[in-house]
Amino acid sequence: MVNHNKMGLLGAISYIIGSIIGSGIFITPTSIIENTNSVGLSLSIWIVSAIISMYVIRLVANRLNKLTETLNALLNVST
C-alpha cells in the first residue's frame, strides 16, 4: 500500500516558512503599535512590508527559474 501522506522536501520547507511567517503575523502587530503609537502608521508599515515581501518573493522566484534553466542547459550539454 502506498502512503500518500508523505511530505517532500519542498513541502517541508514551505511548511516551516509558513509557520514562521504565520507566527510573525500574530506577534508583530503589538510591538509595531506600541512603538508607533498610531494605528494608521502601523497599517502603513504593514502595507509597505507586504509590498517589499512580494517583490522579494518575485525576485527569488525569478532567480530560481534562471538557475533551473542554467542547470538544465548544463545537464543537456554534458549528456
User: What is the tens place of the pLDDT at every residue in 29-46?
Assistant: 778 888 888 889 888 888
* Total domain count, the chain: 1
pLDDT value, residue 20: 77
DSSP 8-state code for residue 47: H
Q: Is residue 2 in some structural domain?
A: no
Residue range(s) defining the domain that contains residue 58: 9-78
Q: Is residue 13 in some structural domain?
A: yes
Q: pTM of the full predicted structure?
A: 0.56
Q: Is residue 47 in some structural domain?
A: yes
Q: Is residue 57 in some structural domain?
A: yes
User: What is the tens place of the pLDDT at every residue in 49-78?
Assistant: 888 888 888 888 888 888 888 888 888 875
Q: Is residue 4 in some structural domain?
A: no
pLDDT value, residue 79: 54
> If 0-12 CB within 10 Å is exposed, 13-18 middle and 19+ buried, where does residue 54 land?
exposed
